[in-house]
A and B are shown apart, each in its own frame.
Chain A
Amino acid sequence: MSERIDAAFADGPAFVPYLAAGDPDYEASLAYVEALDRGGADVIELGLPFSEPIAEGPTIQGAVVRALDAGMTPERFFEFVADLDVEAPLVCMTYYNLIYQYWGSADRSEARAANASGETASEEGPRPFVERAAEVGLEGFVVPDLPAEEAAPLREACDEFGLDLIFIVAPTTRGERLQRIMDRVSGYVYVQARLGTTGARDDVSDQTGASLERLREWDVPKAVGFGIKTGEHAERIVAAGADGIIVGSALVDIVAEGHEEGRPVEETATRLEALARELAAGAERGARRRGEDAPEPEQP
């Protein structure tokens, strides 16, 4: 398991921002991720763009399309991670097909030929991807379309290289499924604040408290995401008991706006850094409020 991710959650609430790597292009994206790091990110989720991002709302889908159009590939993503100059540990958020296919990407034409001639091509599964991720210094994965039931090969590879595998728990996840996720999760658990896809909203769902309550016994940090976009949201979520907040769409919106309006990269980076500070400060306030609101410990 990643000690760096453990450490990120050990010392107060963690602020976990997300950006799609390579959005809107490689160089600008490096500057944006580094701005989040300066703004107080404790862990950074970096999206490796997939052509069919079914768990994402329109905002992040837009980011994915821009990054793909600008030439982002899995190998380029690993170079991107290696080129980044950041303090925070990095988690890769992507879809399973890219992880599953990485073994064959170098010799896909051979695999295709073997396929066509009826031979079965050799299959290595997710291990080569995880090995390469560990090599460039990634600390874990979030894979929204990989159910815990099918996660054994990736879990094994993560264990081998000391990486975390983070699962998303939806408000509708209950019973045996919850248990199965608990058995396989490490690093932190991504608590979905509401049903649906990613996207910044104006309110913070009151499902959050109930969702956290169901996971109270888990000894893994709970980071809440989906719909957080202001410091005040962050404060309320942490005050409600979250160990961390995950923010994607509100940050991606700044990147998209900067791109559409042709702003200089530095200006967009400054805006990202400012929102990052606001969110991180909100999370800190939430943690203090929780301390204040908490009942006095009973005397033995």
Chain B
Amino acid sequence: MPALSELEDAYERYVLENEDGFVDEFRERLRDFGGRPTPLQRADGLSERYGREVYLKREDLVHGGAHKLNNALGQVLLATYMGKERIIAETGAGQHGTATAMACAHLDMPCEVYMGRTDVNRQRPNVFRMRINGAEVNPVDVGRGTLKEAISETMRDWSRTVERTHYVIGSVVGPHPFPAMVRDFQAVISEEAREQVIEKTGGLPDAVVACAGGGSNTMGSFAEFVPDEDVALHAVEAGGSSLDVDEEAGVAPNSASLSTGAEGVLHGARTKLLQDSHGQIMESHSVSAGLDYAGVGPELAHLVETGRVTPATVDDEAALEAFHRLSTAEGIIPALESAHALAYLEAADERGVDLGETVVVTVSGRGDKDLETVIEETEKRGLESAPDMRVFEGGLR
């Protein structure tokens, strides 16, 4: 708690009031190191397919390949302003860990990243990227060895070392001020998108669509549009293989906490959670490791509760199809997280949801990290929309 009070104070002074020019330095580094602003691109193939103007906010083009850098850079920079000497973080799919490792190398801060053993094994390219940027990667063996165990382990480290360490939380989750601060660092996505869409179309979009796991990309994509009440905001969650839960086994075969979760308290926030009837947190699932989390940001849960944001789910298979569709139709290989948002363009039409004439969809990251999963899952499901990967056998060896 004292660490949170200290952080809240720093957040108010540096981030909200720009003390010592923090915000100016953050913006400059986002531009020069991070490669911002990212383009808002009209997707010609998708626009034709859906009979509406589809614009892609290209966060896959941020340095490191995902929106995660916006927040990691902001927090590591803030830690230097606070006089902290060491950074810790947790990571699931590895994107946040990679972004934090990059930001730490850039700002010359020692960095340790906790990652579940299961995730270490299934996200090896990101483990290498973290190590190459000089970060220590600590595998977590307890429990199922995924994101929620890594979060608990990082909190333990922080509770021992708060005086000199800052914990870079990777999403709009956890105790105050993290959800607000991470939203502010990610709000650059909607700030740019709003200006760009007005410039390109002369007005606001009818809808903004973003995928939702913990919710940092979602809140970043929505933040500046929230006051624009005519702009519909759609948060697309991972429906996994099913929306049903297995109470006995403590498993939800999805990560749809906004759509199916109940209100509860976890990791210092009251929000929507996947939990059993006793309040024990359930194991979640998604084909996208980056969406595989049992909770969601409290502000996003609130926006859903008050009706400002509409939650929706698409399942693993629809996300895989959307992954291939964008790759072949537009030449952009999206992260599996982003593929959920893209799949909603198709799903909305099927479900009779009218997204209007102009839609902005955030491509939250690029899909290089997901290629092995996609090839394996595509073969397993025999998806007809996908290219046949077998033609490369022999040719590549």
What A residues does B117 contact at CB under 8 A?
Answer: none
* Contact indicator A173/B1 (Cβ below 8 Å): yes
What B residues does A65 contact at CB under 8 A?
Answer: 142-143
Interface string of B142-182 (1 = CB under 8 A from A): 11000010011001100111110000000000000000000
Picked from B148, B250, B262, B265, the residue with its CB within 8 Å of the CB of A108 is B262
What B residues does A53 contact at CB under 8 A?
Answer: 152
For chain A residues 68-107, which have a beta carbon within 8 Å of chain B? 68, 73-75, 95-98, 100-102, 104-106
What B residues does A122 contact at CB under 8 A?
Answer: none
> Separation in Å of the A67 CB from the closest CB of chain B?
11
* Count class of interface residues, chain B: 20 to 34
* Contact indicator A51/B155 (Cβ below 8 Å): no
> Separation in Å of the B153 CB from the closest CB of chain A?
9
What A residues does B266 contact at CB under 8 A?
Answer: 52, 97
User: From B307, which residue of chain A is reached at the shortest CB distance?
Assistant: A118
User: From B148, which residue of chain A is reached at the shortest CB distance?
Assistant: A52
The stretch among A55-63, A132-140, A230-238 that forms the contact with chain B is A55-63
Q: Is B352 an interface residue (CB 8 A)?
A: no
* Contact indicator B142/A108 (Cβ below 8 Å): no
What B residues does A174 contact at CB under 8 A?
Answer: 2
Picked from A50, A57, A102, A170, the residue with its CB within 8 Å of the CB of B280 is A50
* Count class of interface residues, chain A: 35 or more
Q: Please, how many angstroms separate the alpha-carbon atoms of A197 and B158 in the complex?
A: 10
* Contact indicator A54/B267 (Cβ below 8 Å): yes
Known: A61-B142, A101-B278, A173-B2. A195 touches B159 (CB 8 A): yes
Q: Is B277 an interface residue (CB 8 A)?
A: yes
User: From B245, which residue of chain A is reached at the shortest CB distance?
Assistant: A112
Q: Is B264 an interface residue (CB 8 A)?
A: yes
Q: Is A185 an interface residue (CB 8 A)?
A: no
> Separation in Å of the B179 CB from the closest CB of chain A?
15
Interface string of A168-192 (1 = CB under 8 A from B): 0010111001000000000000000
User: From A174, which residue of chain B is reached at the shortest CB distance?
Assistant: B2
> Separation in Å of the A78 CB from the closest CB of chain B?
12
* Contact indicator B2/A73 (Cβ below 8 Å): no
Picked from B156, B250, B260, B280, the residue with its CB within 8 Å of the CB of A116 is B260
Q: Is B328 an interface residue (CB 8 A)?
A: no
* Contact indicator B2/A170 (Cβ below 8 Å): yes
User: From B162, which residue of chain A is reached at the shortest CB distance?
Assistant: A172
* Contact indicator B277/A108 (Cβ below 8 Å): yes
Q: Please, how many angstroms separate the alpha-carbon atoms of A73 and B159 in the complex?
A: 28
Picked from B143, B260, B277, B279, the residue with its CB within 8 Å of the CB of A97 is B279
* Contact indicator A73/B278 (Cβ below 8 Å): yes
- Kindly list the 9 A-B residue pairs having the minimum CB-CB distance in the complex, ordered from nearest: A101-B279, A196-B160, A108-B277, A172-B2, A51-B280, A97-B279, A98-B279, A51-B281, A97-B265
